[in-house]
Amino acid sequence: MATISEQDLIVQENLLARLDRIPINKTVIGLIALLGLVWILEAFDIGIIAPVLFLLKKTWHLAPKQVGLIASAGTFGIVVGLLPAGRIADRFGRKTTLLGGIVVFSIFTFLASFSQSITELVACRFLAGLGQGAVFPVPYLLLSEFVNKRARGTAVGLSNSLLGFAYGLNTLAGALIVGHIPDSEAWRVLLMLGGATILIMPIVIIFLPESPRFLLKVGQVDRVRNFVERLENVSNLPHDENLIDRSSLRVLEVTAARRVSLLDFAKPPYLIRCFVSYAALLSPFIVFYVITLYGPSILSRMGAGKTDALYYTSGLLFLTVISNAVAGLMGDRISRRWGLVGVMTVAALGTIALGQPLPRWGVIIAAMVTWAFVYAGFPLAKLYMAEQFPTRLRASGSMIGESITRFLGGVVLVFMFPILASEMTSSSLYTLLASLTFVSIIPIMLLGFQTSGRSVEETGTDLSLYRGAPVGGLDSAGIKLDR
């Protein structure tokens, strides 16, 4: 690894300190909106399988195991695609990974609309999932790396809120199509719409910048300087080349010459950080896939007609736009750690209520609580996970976490849910899901640490790892304490 001079480190930290003081201006809002658009279209593609399954179950006379296979195929592809995508994003850039993923999932979603058998549909959903796995975590990484430390959670919450909007769009599209197009053709139209995401490629190529922290790691200082100065000009801030965050500079100094590898995840302190943050991310995933993929079927069993079940599910998903935005703001103002604990506790209680024999108004309230709070867990859990790792391992650490949690929640549980639903009472099944949700947040309750209001250099690096680095004033996770 090439030696980095002290002056080069000072220049890098000056740019990062200036980036961290830039407020949410119109340029940053534009970047948040662009990443939100990517999320909308990808989430539309992922969630499109919910109305597709709802229509296919009767058209193809699917058995519970076949339903589970089709529902979980895309998520299994995401799980497989996430692992190499993390290394690609750390080696070649976040933007490059994003663009490649969009191309892959758009093409195979479109091809899925021509499926003539379960095997063909499952294969296309799996291949589309490979591309989705490369895309989904990238906006979290970019937002954590170019939005200032005081507003990261709010930015992620606002962008993440658009996911619920996207999932609501595909069930709304299903509701609008049902009755106007035969079910045997309607599901094909929905998949064609999902494949249209590739049309946003020129917009992403032109307007989305690469992560400034990644660019610094590969020596492209001038590109970062131009980006930071452009943001400063928009906010009428001076180009202060003497601005330095001493704590972040210390992190850069002690890590500049250190090699990193995936083996770091198997060693302290990152081993425990992986366990805590991955368990935290699993907590919303346990119920998320169930209500997202089987939402219309759940509401249909509770008495809603075919079209109404799709409309009701859309309304619940649109509600999550508000809950996501509030959760992101709460994570910045209070704590991502304790915010997640509170949000997922309420989500677990809502899930228990959803399985009880309630009157119609009770079902409506339980569904609103469950959908709103399950989705609100994601901006808190995903940003907390991204803040655990140094820049050169951030994409890999985040994508390994996404892969593990999506496999457990989106493959295992999604495949098992229709089988369990046919063998268990609703009360027992939803109580089981709620119990797993609560167990998953115990590690962050006991071992997590505060990340809100700190730079990702501070939260992602444990200075006690480095011989000769001062460890006084560090907490048990190696994060410098506020004075």
Segment 179-194, tens digit of pLDDT:
678 878 888 988 998 8
Residue 81 · residue 139 · CB < 8 Å: no
pLDDT at 287: 92
Q: How far apart are CA 483 and CA 479, in angstroms?
A: 12
User: Sign of the C-alpha dihedral, residues 454, 260, 399, 37?
Assistant: positive
Mean pLDDT of the chain: 84
Mean pLDDT of 17-29: 89
C-alpha closest to that of 97 among 135, 48, 129, 71: 135
Q: Is residue 467's pLDDT more than 70?
A: no
The residue that leads in pLDDT, 176 or 285, is 285
For the segment 456-465, the average pLDDT, to the nearest whole number, is 68
- pLDDT at residue 253, as a whole number: 63
Q: Which two tokens stand for residue 269?
A: 């302190």
Position 243 scores a pLDDT of 87
**Taking the domain 13-212+268-463, which CATH number applies?**
1.20.1250.20
Nearest one of 377, 349, 391 to 281, comparing CA atoms: 377
| C-alpha separations of 243 from 7, 233, 249, 356 in Å | 14, 16, 11, 58
Q: Is the pLDDT of residue 319 over 80?
A: yes
Question: What digits encode the pLDDT tens for the residues 286-310?
Answer: 998 888 767 776 776 666 666 777 7
For residue 290, which amino acid is it? V
- Among 99, 93, 31, 87, CA closest to 217: 93
Of the listed ranges 142-151, 161-170, 437-446, the least confidently predicted one is 161-170
DSSP 175-241: HHHBTTB-HHHHHHHHHHHHHGGGGGHHHHHHHPPPPHHHHHHTT-HHHHHHHHHHHHHHTT----T
Q: What is the pLDDT of residues 250-259, one digit of tens each?
A: 666 666 656 6
Reported confidence tier of residue 249, pLDDT bands at 50, 70, 90: low
Q: Dihedral of CA 380/385/389/395: which sign? A: negative
pLDDT for position 254? 61
pLDDT at 220: 93
Could you state, in order of their start, the residue ranges of all structural domains in the chain?
13-212+268-463
For the residues of 55-119, what is the DSSP string, one character each? HHHHHTT--HHHHHHHHHHHHHHHHHHHHHHHHHHHHH-HHHHHHHHHHHHHHHHHHHTT--SHH
The pLDDT value recorded for residue 265 is 87
Residue 2: per-residue pLDDT = 52
Cα separation values, 63 from 56, 60, 67, 187, 300, Å: 11, 9, 6, 18, 17
